[in-house]
Chain A
Amino acid sequence: ETGVTQSPTHLIKTRGQQVTLRCSSQSGHNTVSWYQQALGQGPQFIFQYYREEENGRGNFPPRFSGLQFPNYSSELNVNALELDDSALYLCASSARGVRETQYFGPGTRLLVL
């Protein structure tokens, strides 16, 4: 186990709704990245938070937003859910000075109906 936790484990929403996913990073880690993994695909980078500020973003629309808190935990918010947002959402944390290596949580499985 990596020490990265995510909640909830599973979630079902309907199109147009909003969702908030949560992540607690591994102790001592100050960087959190979020990835989306569709079935049968590799994870795709959404964005990263470092010292409570967004530090890099992938090709995702603005309805994907996030926060990082002073204790380095993080939230991913998705507004106006679409069917294609159904995926496994992964949070990964990394340590100051060793940011190449990312430790993933178990993910949140989101189903949009």
Chain B
Amino acid sequence: SQKIEQNSEALNIQEGKTATLTCNYTNYSPAYLQWYRQDPGRGPVFLLLIRENEKEKRKERLKVTFDTTLKQSLFHITASQPADSATYLCALGGTDSSYKLIFGSGTRLLVRP
């Protein structure tokens, strides 16, 4: 069955450093991959979408890479700030008509001042 792995351990970094989060998947060939941010008790907030034919996408301090050979996506936050502290979810989407998303369990990021 489809499996998405995100580091279950929290990532703890110093303010100003680059945070790198990993999403690995198996038994799936997604048409696109998305990253969401989720704060405690809130719904996920869409950040970036990258398609299978794209290698890299950037938006302000965020960068996503997508390697369909390695079946891996990396999510980078440069010049991290304490306000970036949250759980980040990776989600895969296919070509079925429902555009349903398959989510990983998320990685919690803590940015120390």
Query: A: which residues have CB within 8 A of B?
Result: 2, 4, 31, 33, 35, 40-45, 48, 50, 55-56, 58, 88, 90, 92, 94, 99-107, 109
Contact = CB atoms under 8 A, between A and B. Distances in A.
B103 A43 contact: yes
B68 interface: no
Query: Helix, strand, loop or mixed for chain A's interface?
Result: strand
B43 A100 contact: no
Given A43-B44, A100-B93, 17 more contacts: A31-B99, A33-B99, A42-B4, A42-B103, A42-B104, A55-B98, A56-B96, A56-B97, A56-B99, A58-B100, A90-B44, A92-B43, A103-B46, A104-B43, A104-B45, A104-B46, A107-B41
B30 to A, nearest CB: 11
5 contacts: A40-B105, A45-B101, A92-B43, A99-B99, A109-B41
A48 B46 contact: no
Contacts of B103: 35, 42-44
Nearest to A33: B100
A48 B101 CA distance: 11
Which 10 pairs show the lowest CB-CB distances between chains A and B?
Answer: A56-B98, A42-B103, A104-B43, A45-B100, A99-B99, A48-B98, A42-B105, A104-B44, A43-B103, A107-B43
Interface string B35-46: 010000111111
B89 interface: yes
